[in-house]
Chains A and B, each alone.
Chain A
Amino acid sequence: MTWDALANIFQGVTTLIQSFSQDPKMAIARIGLIGLGLLLVYMGKKGYLEALLMIPMGLGMATVNAALMFFDPLKLHGGTGTLFVEAQAGATADALKNAAEVMTVLQIDWLQPIYTFTFSNGLIACLVFMGIGALLDVGYVMARPFQSMFIAVLAELGTIITFPIAQLFGYTPQQAAAIAIVGGADGPMVLFTSLRLAPELFVPIAVIAYLYLGFAYGGYPYLIRLLVPKKLLAIKPSPAKKKRNITSGEKMLFAVVACVFLSFLLPVAAPLIFSLFFGVVIRESGIKEFIELLQGPILYASTMFLGLMLGVLCDVNTIMDPKVLPLLLLGVLSLLISGIGGILAGYILYFITRGKFNPAIGIAGVSCVPTTAKVAQKVVTKVNKSAIILPEALGANVSGVITTAIIAGIFCSLLAK
């Protein structure tokens, strides 16, 4: 057996050695990505990051960078590729060539059907949204709509401020909008917007968004403690005025009206708006079989494939794009400003109510449902066990989803090429 035959069998090793001699940076980055993937699996398992997403994503990332071989049917990556997925297939200006490319890779790459038929058209984001909708109780928003919306609107400051800042970094307005929407802290919305406005940056933006959403769980408690003194964290919300319970019929009526109204105003975001409120309507309709289907198989299957696809899309050629590095900074900035905006809303309500509102609730305006609401409750509980802020926080949380959908719709309408 010759060395050539051995090199041909162990192509993962051969491509790495070749990469070291031709472009050491790429070789080091490839090893780094394998390490990062393994670290994500570990952190997911230990509970530091969201296991549902990070375990499939980490394993996908490590494997796809290990399994590089001499295979590039579309001649896009200088002769190397994998048998997983080709995100750049069909991205040329020639429609006929695009169709031919997609048909070719559909028959080769095993995850290509999932990417082509569920990712590139936003279906997976909509499926996740249906599942989230089926878990949402809109009664929290209906109990205090103006307060919830006020918090949610201020918690969008990160998106609004990052949009022009990203343009200063040289991104086009479409790319800047796709990056800025990370500040809305809503994964499916980030996927949807980046696919609509900046498909060329979809992979890095989506990966960074989901990574940061994982870190937000660990980082936001520090932000709350930094900005809100213990005395204010201990504030108990004033007991709610005795109101009658909001019935499931009323919640359903709200979801139907809001779905039609928002879709009428923002047709570009209608698929996402519909998916969210469809989930809510199913939940309130009481159709047990549909509720179980959305809350279980649909939500978990789409989350699993979402994580897996994001991982396998993290190959070294995509991540080492020079346009990707500023994304790391802009993503953090966006989420940080949104968090500060939410707490600012909390402070404004604290002053308006003359000290009866707990400013920590503001962080829940950042629409990472239900993570930020839980984070706020967790921080407050550590200071005052009898302060239950979760209902108000969930109201702000659900409103955050609605405001992020509104911003995504406006960006997509305003900036669509």
Chain B
Amino acid sequence: MNGWNEALLTYGLTIVISFSVACMIQLIVVLLEKFSEKRKGQHS
């Protein structure tokens, strides 16, 4: 089992961090979309 534990730990952490980044991107996009809609609404 030489190295398999570290490999799995690394992969697990990579998955968690990568999808956290994806969630963050999605959040940024959604928030900015809502913000721009709100601004459009105010202008009209």
* A interface residue numbers (CB < 8 A to B): 141-142, 145-146, 148-149, 152-153, 156, 160-161, 163-164, 166-168, 173, 176, 244, 246, 250, 253-254, 257-258, 261-262, 265-266, 399, 402-403, 406-407, 410-411, 414-415
Closest Cβ–Cβ distance, residue B12 to chain A (whole Å): 10
A-B contact pairs, 15 of them (CB 8 A): A142-B25, A145-B25, A145-B26, A149-B19, A152-B18, A163-B3, A163-B7, A167-B2, A167-B3, A173-B3, A244-B33, A246-B29, A250-B28, A257-B28, A410-B10
Contact of A160 with B25 at beta-carbon distance under 8 Å, contacts A167-B2, A250-B32, A265-B17 already known: no
B22 touching A145, Cβ below 8 Å: yes
Contact B11 A160, beta carbon cutoff 8 Å: yes
Evaluate whether A257 and B29 lie within 8 angstroms (CB atoms) in the complex, with A407-B10, A410-B10, A414-B6 already known.
no
Min CB gap B7→A, angstroms = 5
B1-27 interface code vs A (CB 8 A; 1 in, 0 out): 111101111110111011111111110
Question: Contact between B7 and A160 (Cβ–Cβ < 8 Å)?
Answer: yes
Given contacts A161-B7, A410-B10, A414-B9, contact A146 B24 (CB under 8 A): no
With A and B bound together, what is the CA distance between A45 and B22 in angstroms?
40
User: CA of A406 to CA of B10 in the docked complex: distance in angstroms?
Assistant: 9
Contact B7 A261 (CB under 8 A): no
Q: B18, A261: Cβ atoms under 8 Å? A: no
Q: How far is the CB of A179 from chain B (nearest CB, A)?
A: 12
User: Is B18 in contact with A399, judged by CB distance below 8 angstroms?
Assistant: yes
Interface SS majority for chain B: helix
A173-B3, A176-B3, A406-B17 known; 13 new pairs, CB 8 Å cut-off, are A153-B19, A156-B14, A160-B10, A163-B3, A163-B10, A164-B3, A164-B6, A254-B25, A258-B25, A262-B17, A407-B10, A410-B10, A411-B10
Measured in the bound complex, the distance between the Cα atoms of B9 and A48 in whole Å is: 38
Q: How many residues of B contact A (CB 8 A)?
A: 28
- Bound-complex Cα distance A253 to B4 (A): 37
Contact A253 B28 (CB under 8 A): yes
Set of chain B residues within 8 Å of A406, measured between Cβ atoms? 13-14, 17-18
Residue of B nearest to A409 (CB): B17
A415 near B6 with CB under 8 A, answer: yes
B15, A153: Cβ atoms closer than 8 Å = yes
Q: A414 touching B10 by the CB < 8 A rule?
A: yes
Q: Is the CB of A164 within 8 A of B7?
A: yes
Cα A261 to Cα B33 with chains together (Å): 22
CB atoms of B24 and A257 under 8 A apart: yes
Of the candidates A161, A253, A258, A414, the one whose C-beta lies within 8 Å of that of B21 is: A258
A168 to B3, CA, bound (A): 9
Residues of B within 8 A of A244 (CB): 33, 36
Partner of B2, one of A156, A168, A399, A414: A168
Q: Give the chain A neighbours of B1 by CB distance below 8 A.
A: 164
Shortest beta-carbon distance, B11 to chain A, in Å? 5
For the complex formed, measure the closest distance between the CB of B8 and the CB atoms of chain A, giving whole angstroms.
Answer: 8
**Bound complex: CA A254 to CA B22 (Å):** 11
Instruction: Give complex CA distance A270, B31 in Å.
Output: 27
Let me know if B29 and A250 touch, CB within 8 A.
yes
B23 shortest CB reach to chain A, Å: 8
